Amino acid sequence: MAAPRVLVLRAPGTNCDVETAHAFELAGASAERVHVGRLTENPALHKRYQILCIPGGFSYGDDIAAGRILATRMRHHLDDMIHHFVDAGDNLVLGICNGMQVLMRLGVLTDGVETPQLANAASEDSVASPSDQSWTADSANAGHVAPPATLTWNNHGRFEDRWVHLAVDQTPCVFLKDIDQMYLPMAHAEGKFVARDADALEQLRSAGRLALRYCDESGQIESETLPFPVNPNGGDANVAGVCDASGRVFGLMPHPERHIDATQHPFWTRRKEQPEHGDGLTMFRNAVQWFA
Ligand SMILES: NC(=O)CC[C@H](N)C(=O)O
């Protein structure tokens, strides 16, 4: 099997690209970090790659809303690239943390859920409740519709950095194949998943799109919104990751690239037996396996 080629997208403010490329390499892929400026100069460059990964960080300083500027730049200048990875063939897309924020702003994770016309939509700045800027212009046809879901500020209103337990739901997500549970670090300020309304949440749930959820240590999800810090941001249905209908496009807020080695586990010195690798590596291996 030829190693699949991964485009790890960089933008001003990206800060997890080196670790993410390393995780893909360790899993058997061939990864290159490519700046968004190089792609806009040479838009055909993306054709060399089968996997697009948007890594974590603070692209464009998280200005306006986290992920908004990079998503807008991609939508306006790299439309062919989005089509190549999202719509065409067997290609894969992974968005980690800031990368998930970008994918949510692009609307590719929640595509397929009905978006009713807003009653009083007047301009690009029209917002649905909750009235916060995360709701504006989130999806490709934004402005006159409210997207099915968005990511907004954590409940406590600040950056949170901690390890979290995650449960995998039954979904078509390629990256989560044969994984039940993971223990990964999260580090974000704008990672709270909020659905437009109960109907949008139910549509996403029943379509198997809510692929990854915060859970307690035993893997249980006892309530619709688990208390802090089990659910570190207060997001609806404890959602930590969402996939598209095909399962080839996946975004998650926690960082799998920060737990690829057993010694990255916070209690590794106290564990009697060391696993072969960290929980996050399986996700990258699943991506490589997809092309086998
Ligand atoms: N870890 C990351 O990708 C950065 C976090 C993100 N931009 C936020 O604070 O919401």
C-alpha distances in Å from residue 112, one per residue of 46, 119, 207, 229, 254: 25, 21, 9, 32, 24
pLDDT value, residue 43: 87
Q: Whose CA is nearest to atom 6 of ligand 1?
A: 188
Contact by Cβ (8 Å): 63, 38? no
Is 277 an active-site residue?
A: no
Once rounded to an integer, what is the mean pLDDT over residues 80-109? Answer: 96
Is 144 an active-site residue?
A: no
> pLDDT digit string (tens) for 135-180?
554 544 445 578 999 999 999 999 999 999 999 998 999 999 999 9
Ligand 1 atom closest to 190 (CA): 10
> pLDDT digit string (tens) for 241-283?
999 999 999 999 999 999 999 999 999 999 999 999 999 999 9
C-alpha triplet 34, 106, 119: angle, nearest 5°: 165
For the 5-113+132-289 domain, the top CATH level (class) is alpha beta
pLDDT at 126 over 50: no
Is 255 an active-site residue?
A: yes
List the beta bridge partners of residue 96: 252
Does the C-beta of 62 come closer than 6 Å to ligand 1? yes
> pLDDT digit string (tens) for 2-47?
999 999 999 999 999 999 999 999 999 999 999 999 999 998 999 9
> pLDDT digit string (tens) for 190-214?
999 999 999 999 999 999 999 999 9
Q: Alpha carbon 272 to chain centroid distance?
A: 33
Nearest residue to 252 via CA among 211, 206, 286, 287: 211
Write the ipTM: 0.95
Does the C-beta of 268 come closer than 6 Å to ligand 1? no
Beta strands 92-96; 181-188: pairing state: unpaired
pLDDT value, residue 140: 46
pLDDT tier, 1 (very low <50, low <70, confident <90, very high otherwise): confident
pLDDT value, residue 129: 41
